[in-house]
């Protein structure tokens, strides 16, 4: 899939804007995500922390779960923005792999500058996917 620089920046800007709504009182590490599906719809997400730490949720998964809850399961690209251009966690990588190893990932910093661009397959080599469950 080919993205224009304008498309990249638009998704990064949406993810960065979403970060304003992150609920991160414990880590003080707001994360925003913007997911574009193959139908062209965009879903945003933010990290949502909780005093019982394991019950929080990452921005990437929030965006993906919002899309899936609306019937979307085919994704093109997801932009993830953190203050320092941090990479998605292992749990988010696994959820991304569930919906396609060819999904493009844009990782940007809080200034909206693209730091890395790769596919889910590149971010999670040897991913466990639904095909592994086939008989």
* Catalytic positions, written as ranges: 60
What's the CA angle centered on 52, arms 46 and 55, to 5 degrees?
45
For 56-114, give the DSSP string: -B-HHHHHHHHHHHTT---EEEEEEE-TT-PPPPHHHHHHHHHT-TT-EEEEE-TTS-E
């Amino acid at each position: 899939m080919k993205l224009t620089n304008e498309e990249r920046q638009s998704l990064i800007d949406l993810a960065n804007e979403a970060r304003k709504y992150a609920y991160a009182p414990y880590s003080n590490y707001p994360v925003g995500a913007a997911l574009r599906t193959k139908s062209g719809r965009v879903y945003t997400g933010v990290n949502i922390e909780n005093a019982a730490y394991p019950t929080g949720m990452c921005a990437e998964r929030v965006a993906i779960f919002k899309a899936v809850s609306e019937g979307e399961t085919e994704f093109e690209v997801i932009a993830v923005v953190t203050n320092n251009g941090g990479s998605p966690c292992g749990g988010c990588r696994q959820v991304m792999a569930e919906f396609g190893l060819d999904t493009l990932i844009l990782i940007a910093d809080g200034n909206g500058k693209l730091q890395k661009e790769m596919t889910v397959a590149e971010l999670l080599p040897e991913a466990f996917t639904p095909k592994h469950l086939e008989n």
